[in-house]
């Protein structure tokens, strides 16, 4: 998760929806034991990760570069369980830190998956342009719910029941 911080989030349209979607992804990732990583852009000035997400994340990595690719242990993440090379990227702002992180990860050979409803920018045009650029660069654009059920794979399991509850709960 990239830079969902106290001073950045209030200027994001539909911030509650964004944090709800990211929280769903974080809860599901923990359920399926998918490694989680978190960055914070200049926390001294932009604040900490918002409390409603921080409780589900490991300690954030501080950064000054816009791309979080260099500061997060992506290699460690990719070399854990089943040599994962897919990274689901969420956060703000789509056209700055999320985009630059996605482009760096793609250049490094990772498969980047962007849940379109779990990234945001202050401005709609910036968000739309970032989505197009990230997708044209090779990332897969999808939705949070699609990712949750892809991780689940099959109905009728305890995990399926938990995922079903996650997607039906209100914000």
- Any idea which residues carry the catalytic annotation? 3, 63, 97
* Start-to-end C-alpha separation, the chain: 19
Distance of CA 64 to CAs 6, 36, 37, 44, 130, Å?
A: 16, 20, 16, 11, 20
69 and 91 in contact (C-beta within 8 Å)?
no
For tokens 């409803």, the residue is: 117
Distance between CA atoms of residues 142 and 144, nearest Å? 7
Taken in order 93, 127, 171, 149, is the CA torsion positive or negative? negative
């Amino acid at each position: 998760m990239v830079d969902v911080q106290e001073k950045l989030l209030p200027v994001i349209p539909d911030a509650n929806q964004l944090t709800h979607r990211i929280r769903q992804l974080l809860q599901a990732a923990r359920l399926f034991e998918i490694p989680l990583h978190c960055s914070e852009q200049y926390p001294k000035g932009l604040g900490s990760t918002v409390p409603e997400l921080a409780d589900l994340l490991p300690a954030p990595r501080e950064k000054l570069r816009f791309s979080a690719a260099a500061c997060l242990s992506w290699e460690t993440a990719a070399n854990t369980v089943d040599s994962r090379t897919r990274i689901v990227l969420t956060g703000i702002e789509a056209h700055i830190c999320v985009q630059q992180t996605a482009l760096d990860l793609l250049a490094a050979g990772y498969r980047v998956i962007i849940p379109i409803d779990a990234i945001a920018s202050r401005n709609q045009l910036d968000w739309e342009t970032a989505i197009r650029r990230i997708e044209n660069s090779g990332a897969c654009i999808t939705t949070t719910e699609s990712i949750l059920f892809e991780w689940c794979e099959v109905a009728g399991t305890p995990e399926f029941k938990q995922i079903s509850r996650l997607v039906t709960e209100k914000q």
